[in-house]
């Protein structure tokens, strides 16, 4: 039995095509995925991300707990109220259980957002690890979540927020979130554009969605969410990395804080991996021929084979792009096996697109 | 409800077929097919003068979602392909039965058309 978010009726009302995503009935698009993508890059769009999981972690030792639980170091954010940190949560083998965002609210309280598809295993893992630190894990499942993204997203969202929340939201610096009554507003996102992710009590979610629509914010489906995040060079859990993938081979080395001797789950495995030297690396690809790159296509290089983890047609660039795991010695040119044909692709440093601007050579 | 013109013939793999006055046959994909695929971003049309037998994969339509083979509805030789699809593949989304036609063939046996579905049969088939 599929679950529906509190905004399901709104999606139907706004003409969504509904698909199953991780057990949820979610909008894949409201007409054209490409138009939705371009609208976010040029103006402002909104995404229902209520299926994602909000967890509050509370306790006197919550800082120590998160320093142990996460591969990134929450010490980076504990001097700024509301500051957010992106991190992987690893198993002992150094594989990725999930990637997540955690907000520092005070020394006894962090708020975490994890993926919907990994909800059960995440909560089980976090709760198990939390016992030793006497930290409570509470799911805030009566909060809906709406991401408003695009160059005009902030202005349009501020125009429909309550006076109190407008003040809070308007003062947010990038990658910071703050509560406002029962609401919570973070200046974060998954598109490579500026904007907010807004947690709103379920009872108020549909009315807020309508207000945003009236302010000219267009509903955007999961299809465009995927092409936007891929252009932005942001990984998708379960596709670009999983429990058998090291973050070092998923382009996430920048999120691993191991310069000091902090002990965290997965550290030993990553140390061993680093000492052995890199085998594979994670790169962006831009196709030089016709067609569309797709996940699981084989990448052929002079030093061995790799695989595309995420591929798509980039609406902003007009060509196919991909994320791929390839041999560490791979240089600037590879070939992709596309339905039996080898097609050239250039290796690039991601992101492909940030804040409406193409950052790589097509 | 999908638009399914009465004057065309259809395949189970969602191609439409139209017999032209000059004896050639135009082929495209149905409104229902383009809806399933979503935004079309690339079309590889078949090479002219190539001969195919019925149900052979002859070209590829790629959408944001998936690559999809187009199957030859009846046997014949490709005599024309829609060059506009190179730069504007979205014509298949906006006008699947007219501007979004994909190729034309000279049938090797016109009788094969009789084996295809009419509009009502196709409509029943996609409702299942």
The CATH number of the domain where B45 resides is what? 2.40.50.100
Those residues of chain A that have pLDDT short of 50 are none
Question: B68-105 pLDDT, tens per residue?
Answer: 999 999 999 999 999 999 999 999 999 999 999 999 99
Taking CA–CA distances from A295, the nearest residue in chain B reads B66
Question: B47-71 pLDDT, tens per residue?
Answer: 999 999 999 999 999 999 899 999 9
Check B42 against A312: CB less than 8 A apart. no
**Is the per-residue pLDDT at B2 higher than 90?**
no
In a domain, B86, yes or no: yes
In a domain, B4, yes or no: no
In a domain, B99, yes or no: yes
The position carrying tokens 């058998």 is A244
What's the rounded Cα separation, in Å, for the pair B21 and B85? 23
How high is the pLDDT of residue A362? 86
> Is A30 in CB contact (< 8 Å) with chain B?
no
Q: Domain of B55?
A: 9-109
In a domain, B95, yes or no: yes
Whether pTM exceeds 0.90: yes
Tell me the pLDDT band of B112, cut-offs 50, 70 and 90. very high
**Chain A residues with beta carbon closer than 8 angstroms to that of B39:** 32-34
**Is the per-residue pLDDT at B1 higher than 70?**
no
What's the rounded Cα separation, in Å, for the pair A225 and B103? 34
Check A223 against B64: CB less than 8 A apart. yes
Q: What is the DSSP string of A283-352?
A: EEEEESSSS---TT-EEEETTEEEEEEEEEEETTTTEEEEEEEEETT--SEEEEEETTEEEEEEEEPSPS
Check B67 against A292: CB less than 8 A apart. yes
Query: Kindly report the CA angle at A334 between A330 and A338, in degrees rounded to 5?
Result: 140
> Domain total for chain B?
1
**Is the per-residue pLDDT at B125 higher than 90?**
yes
Share the mean pLDDT of chain A.
97
Number of cross-chain residue pairs from A and B with Cβ atoms under 8 Å apart: 36
How high is the pLDDT of residue B128? 66
In a domain, B23, yes or no: yes
CB A237 within 8 Å of CB A95: no
Taking CA–CA distances from B35, the nearest residue in chain A reads A31
Stretch B14-30: mean pLDDT: 97
In a domain, B83, yes or no: yes
How high is the pLDDT of residue A24? 97
- Strands of the sheet containing A177-180, edge to edge, are A177-180, A183-186, A195-201, A143-149, A45-48, A218-219
In a domain, B122, yes or no: no
Contacts (Cβ under 8 Å, ≥6 apart) of A13: none
Question: A111-162 pLDDT, tens per residue?
Answer: 999 999 999 999 999 999 999 999 999 999 999 999 999 999 999 999 999 9
Residue of B36, B45, B65, B70 best to disrupt the A interface, most CBs of A under 10 A: B65
> Is A290 in CB contact (< 8 Å) with chain B?
yes
**Chain B residues with beta carbon closer than 8 angstroms to that of A312:** 64
């Amino acid at each position: 039995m599929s679950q529906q978010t509190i905004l399901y009726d709104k999606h139907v009302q706004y003409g969504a095509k509904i698909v199953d995503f991780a057990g949820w009935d979610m909008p894949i698009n409201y007409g054209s995925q490409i138009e939705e993508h371009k609208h976010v890059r040029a103006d402002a769009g909104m995404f229902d991300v209520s299926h994602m999981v909000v967890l509050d972690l509370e306790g006197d030792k919550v800082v120590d707990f998160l320093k142990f639980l996460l591969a990134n170091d929450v010490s980076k954010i504990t001097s700024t109220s509301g500051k957010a940190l992106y991190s992987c949560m690893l198993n002992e083998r150094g594989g990725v259980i999930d990637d997540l965002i955690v907000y520092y609210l005070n020394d006894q309280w962090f708020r975490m957002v994890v993926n919907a598809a990994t909800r059960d295993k995440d909560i089980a893992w976090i709760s198990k690890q939390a016992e030793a630190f006497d930290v409570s894990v509470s799911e805030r499942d009566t909060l809906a979540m709406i991401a408003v993204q695009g160059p005009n997203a902030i202005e349009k969202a501020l125009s429909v927020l309550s006076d109190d929340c407008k003040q809070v939201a308007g003062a947010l610096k990038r990658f910071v979130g703050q509560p406002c009554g029962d609401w919570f507003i973070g200046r974060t996102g998954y598109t490579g554009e500026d904007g907010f992710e807004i947690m709103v009590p379920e009872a108020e979610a549909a009315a807020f969605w309508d207000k945003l629509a009236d302010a000219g914010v267009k509903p955007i489906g999961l299809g465009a969410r995927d092409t936007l995040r891929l252009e932005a060079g942001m990984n998708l859990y379960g596709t670009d990395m999983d429990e058998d993938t090291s973050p070092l081979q998923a382009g996430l080395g920048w999120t691993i804080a191991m310069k000091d001797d902090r002990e965290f789950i997965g550290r030993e495995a990553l140390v061993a991996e680093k000492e052995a030297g890199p085998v594979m690396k994670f790169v962006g690809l831009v196709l030089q021929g016709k067609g569309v790159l797709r996940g699981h296509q084989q990448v052929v290089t002079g030093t061995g084979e790799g695989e595309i983890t995420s591929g798509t047609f980039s609406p902003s660039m007009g060509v196919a792009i991909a994320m791929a795991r390839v041999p560490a010695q791979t240089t600037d040119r590879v070939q992709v096996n596309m339905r039996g044909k080898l097609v050239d692709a250039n290796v690039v440093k991601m992101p492909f697109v940030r804040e409406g601007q193409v950052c790589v050579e097509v | 409800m999908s638009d399914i013109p009465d004057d065309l013939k259809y395949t189970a793999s969602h191609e439409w077929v139209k017999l032209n006055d000059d004896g050639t046959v135009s082929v495209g994909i149905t409104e229902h097919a383009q809806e399933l695929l979503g935004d079309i971003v690339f079309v590889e049309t078949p090479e002219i003068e190539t001969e195919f037998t019925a149900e052979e994969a002859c070209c590829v339509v790629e959408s944001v979602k998936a690559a999809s083979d187009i199957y030859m509805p009846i046997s014949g030789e490709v005599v024309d392909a829609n060059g506009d699809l190179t730069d504007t593949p979205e014509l298949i989304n906006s006008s699947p039965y007219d501007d979004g036609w994909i190729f034309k063939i000279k049938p090797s046996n016109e009788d094969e058309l009789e084996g295809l579905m009419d509009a009502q049969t196709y409509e029943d088939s996609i409702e299942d």
